[in-house]
Structure 1
């Protein structure tokens, strides 16, 4: 499995809690830099912008640890530390047909290793995660299925 979706299950407390997603996939946010785009959340913590933005891995890990936040819409693009590619166009989730067009999409951001998309607070889409992360996620959430199976 290259790409997964977790939706329509009671295995999660609530979808798109990125702290839980990283834990389930056994991904340390500190190992990457992150571009987070197309952001809508259930609340806006003080000092947090809903604009597309860069986080170091340490910043993202600290933010998620300090805030119980649900991302309704967002794309988390993981890049090697220190890489800051051009972000135009910014990765998007809500209007992105690539998730459903019958192909196996890769990360939208040039140079990204993988991406995690928060889909309308009702699903989590994992694109191009490392095999061990996929295995860990599926072990934690056996209801995760290949993204291709979710296409209509």
Structure 2
């Protein structure tokens, strides 16, 4: 299942992932490969690199302490650390999210969290359990596949899908 969080009355700032990691503890049980990352600020050196793995618990600790807004980025969730080779998952400029039923970009990923231009959060390939938890937390979260069917021609250059 693919979901999109946008224009929600339950979200003050998009792509702050601290809330989902706090309210849905299962997110902390994965290892995340983080790629195409841009954020507003972060003092913690663990995020000062490109294309890397971090445990869900470490990521939770960082986002709780730092209150980071990820502007762009893909967080690919794995049960254990995997060996990945380029090309790595990316968000910025990726038109695949806005067509049909997007798939995880990283081979073997359980699901992906995509931070899109600080104004949308996408959840690609989430399980029924995660989907239900997200719908409880964000009752107005939408099915991305259905939203894609409604779109006429996405304008991926301006990032405006209204």
Q: TM-score range by the shorter chain?
A: 0.7 to 0.9
What secondary structure, in the 3-state scheme, does the structure 2 residue paired with 1:69 have? Answer: coil
Q: Are 2:86 and 1:85 aligned?
A: no
Deviation per CA, 1:88-132: give whole Å up to 9, x if none: 111001122211122x12211011010000111111100111111
Q: 2:115 aligns with which of 94, 114, 118?
A: 118
CA RMSD between the two structures: 1.7
Separation (CA, whole Å) in 2 of partners of 1:34 and 1:146: 23
Aligned length: 148
Q: How does 1:42-121 map to 2 (within 5 A)?
A: 42-47=40-45, 48-81=47-80, 83-102=81-100, 104-121=101-118
Separation (CA, whole Å) in 1 of partners of 2:29 and 2:118: 25
Q: Give the structure 1 partner of residue 31 of structure 2.
A: 33
Separation (CA, whole Å) in 2 of partners of 1:96 and 1:87: 18
Q: Which runs of 4+ in 1 moved over 6 A?
A: none
Deviation per CA, 1:43-84: give whole Å up to 9, x if none: 132423152221023322221222111001110000112x32
Task: Give the alignment's TM-score, normalised by structure 2.
Answer: 0.83
Task: Give the alignment's TM-score, normalised by structure 1.
Answer: 0.88
Q: Give the structure 2 partner of residue 5 of structure 1.
A: 4
- The verdict on how the C-alpha distance between 1:130 and 1:3 changes in structure 2, with shifts beyond 3 A counting, is same
- The verdict on how the C-alpha distance between 1:80 and 1:57 changes in structure 2, with shifts beyond 3 A counting, is same
Separation (CA, whole Å) in 1 of partners of 2:26 and 2:64: 12
**For structure 1, which runs of at least 5 residues remain unmatched after alignment?**
none
**For structure 2, which runs of at least 5 residues remain unmatched after alignment?**
152-162
